[in-house]
Amino acid sequence: MMSMTAVLKDLSAFAFFGGIEPEALASVADLFEEGSYPAGTRVIEEGSRGNRLYIITAGQAEVRIRRDAPDDAGLENVLTTLGRGETFGEMELLDTQERSASVVAVEAATTLELTNRGLYEIFRRRPDIFRMIMMNLARDLSRRLRHADRQLASARLGQ
């Protein structure tokens, strides 16, 4: 089993924690919960509401959305597969809308989870860490939006 120092050093390499020293992470580590999801578990459901962000520490999960066509009822498209160090559910912390996709563990997955209350507590305790987390989230969402733009442009050009 890894020491807490080793765990925090490992986590500081994840994009979500970019620019945050392991010692600083230690000051807010108690705000994160650990999750464990067997393969096939639906971690979040499209259309539901939630209040937490997930950081995958081991395993893989697929992001899926329902198909719109009446003949495709119950079927889903896989948008992407996420692995170690990647996040999902971040939109739940930033707005109050329903979840835009489902996430399913495709192999046993472990996560670190941060609720909106935990995020607020980081803001209260360590505004410096809060700023870095928000910058890292903005960078990740921007990267994902650019990727979606490219996919949409490719799909339209292919028609």
Residue pLDDT, tens place only, 39-54: 999 999 999 998 999 9
CATH no. for residue 126? 2.60.120.10
Q: What's the whole-model pTM score? A: 0.84
Looking at the domain assignment, is residue 65 inside a domain?
Answer: yes
Average pLDDT of the chain to the nearest whole number? 87
Establish if 9 belongs to a structural domain. Answer: no
Residue 146, in any domain of the structure: yes
Residue 138 included in any domain: yes
Count the domains in the chain: 1
Report the side by side order of strands in the sheet with 76-82: 42-44, 102-105, 61-66, 76-82
**Among 92, 93, 85, residue whose Cα is nearest residue 17:** 85
Query: pLDDT (tens digit, 9 = 90+) per residue, 131-154?
Result: 999 999 989 888 888 887 887 787
Q: Indicate whether 12 belongs to any domain.
A: no
10 lies in a domain? no
User: Confidence class of residue 96 from pLDDT cuts 50, 70 and 90?
Assistant: confident
In this structure, the number of other CB atoms found within 10 A of the CB of residue 28 comes to 19
Which range marks the domain in which residue 104 is found? 31-157
Condensed to tens digits (0 to 9), the pLDDT of residues 14-38 reads 888 999 988 899 899 899 999 999 9
Residues 34/67, Cβ–Cβ less than 8 Å: no
70 pLDDT band (50/70/90 cuts)? Answer: low
Specify whether the CB–CB gap between 144 and 90 falls below 8 A.
no
Which tokens hold the place of 10? 């490992």
| Residue 140 placed within a domain | yes
Structure confidence at residue 93 (pLDDT)? 79
For residue 127, which of 28, 2, 39 has the smallest C-alpha distance?
28
Asked, for residue 17, whether it belongs to a domain, the answer is no
